[in-house]
Amino acid sequence: MTLRVVRVALTGSGGIGSRVAVALLARRVRYAERFGVDLRLVGAAGSRAGIVGSGGIAVGEFEDRASWALGLTGAAFLAEAAPDVIIDAGPNDYETGGPGLAHLEWALPRGIHAIMVSKSALALHGARLLGLASASSSRVHASGASSAALPAVDFLRHNLAGASVTRVEAALTGTTSFVLDAVTRQGSSLDAAVAEAISRGIAEPDPTFDLDGSDTAAKLVVIAGLALGEWLPFRGITRESVLEVTGARVAAWREAGEKPALVGVLERTATGYEARVEVRAYPREHPFASATGSTKALMVSAEGFGDYTLVGGASTPEATVAAVLKDVEHLLAEL
């Protein structure tokens, strides 16, 4: 059988990106057998250096960082790699959009598909970027940018296709769920709980983005944009920060046996969806109370369909990689 070559370039080769590269290369036989695709990792770049190999780079070459070419990043890297698909796992910047913005602006008008793990480009510029994608028939998948192993976008877009969704309430940031759990149930200090989330690879490169609600707000924007077709203004979303939670509030939750979580809420109004991020506490019998540690949770109300609760998809690096691999499978099925 002749295999169709699909060339993948990775931008952002840190904790998540590196795992994605290794996992992708380990699945090449599966992609050949299931999709008739010869998937090649034709390049990988970080902030200062990159590697390109048009025949596909092997794990050993990917891992030999000393051999990467200094300065081979950004548009120069993408032009040399000439991919069919980019996977962006770089950092977020909620002022500029982060490096992922330039990567998408380069790729999408050229008909190159994108799998986004970083969030800030879509959170700040999603409507414009999806316009670029639609004009050139590029596909954008963003499980990693919208709650990873909790399949929020897929559930709304596929399982509730065509539904009129009236409300979404979701614990989308594993780090804040983990931290609030540790502080409330185990009596940890905030600093110790955040340090533990960092050491588990769950927290953002800058954990302030988790704690101050930016991560949840960004995921809410991406979910609403990709699944409900409405791109909300990221900066207009009111957010409560976990850093504002007082000791007295924690003591009251502990006393009542409640489970706190930082949640994103979307409510349909006469003029569209309204979004906010807030700390809420759930009684023992509430389904969200079973979402311990970094486990995520989603409640959806949709006209006709009724109400759903999904609990799972805990934030871990492995779960994020699994979500990226899912996006790869969806994309290969579409091509």
Residue numbers in the known binding site for NADP(+) are: 12-17
Among 138, 214, 295, 320, binds ligand NAI (CB under 6 A): 320
Q: Which is nearer to ligand LTNE7NMQ, 73 or 175 (CB)?
A: 175
Per CB under 6 A, 148 contacts ligand LTNE7NMQ:
yes
Cα separation, 141 vs 327, whole angstroms? 6
Beta bridge partners of 140: 114
Residue numbers in the known binding site are: 12-17, 119, 204
Sole residue written with tokens 């690879």: 201
Per CB under 6 A, 88 contacts ligand LTNE7NMQ:
no
Q: How far is the CB of 76 from ligand NAI (least distance, A)?
A: 11
Query: x/- contact string, 304-333, with ligand LTNE7NMQ (CB under 6 A)?
Result: -----------x------------------
φ and ψ at residue 270, rounded to 5 degrees: -65, -25
Per CB under 6 A, 297 contacts ligand LTNE7NMQ:
no
Query: x/- contact string, 278-297, with ligand NAI (CB under 6 A)?
Result: --------------------
Alpha carbon 322 to its chain centroid, in Å, reads 11
Q: Which is nearer to ligand LTNE7NMQ, 38 or 93 (CB)?
A: 93
Cα separation, 334 vs 331, whole angstroms? 5
Enter the DSSP assignment of 290: G
**Binders of ligand LTNE7NMQ among 165-204, rule CB under 6 A?**
173-175, 202-204
Residue numbers in the known binding site for NADPH are: 119
Which among 114, 105, 87, 80 is positioned nearest to 14, based on CA atoms?
A: 87
Alpha carbon 278 to its chain centroid, in Å, reads 20
The answer to whether the beta carbons of residues 42 and 9 sit under 8 Å apart is yes
Cα separation, 94 vs 328, whole angstroms? 26
Q: How far is the CB of 37 from ligand NAI (least distance, A)?
A: 24
Give the amino acid at 199: S
DSSP reduced 3-state for 209: helix
Per CB under 6 A, 89 contacts ligand NAI:
yes
The answer to whether the beta carbons of residues 241 and 216 sit under 8 Å apart is no
Cα separation, 327 vs 224, whole angstroms? 18
Q: Which amino acids are annotated catalytic? A: 219
Q: Is the dihedral of CA 234, 296, 263, 246 positive or negative?
A: negative
Per CB under 6 A, 210 contacts ligand LTNE7NMQ:
yes
Number of chain residues interacting with ligand NAI (CB under 6 A): 28
**Binders of ligand LTNE7NMQ among 273-292, rule CB under 6 A?**
none
Give the amino acid at 235: R
Which chain residues interact with ligand LTNE7NMQ by CB under 6 A?
148, 173-175, 202-204, 210, 215, 315
Which chain residues interact with ligand NAI by CB under 6 A?
11-17, 45-47, 73, 89-92, 99, 117-119, 144, 148, 201-202, 204-205, 315, 317, 320
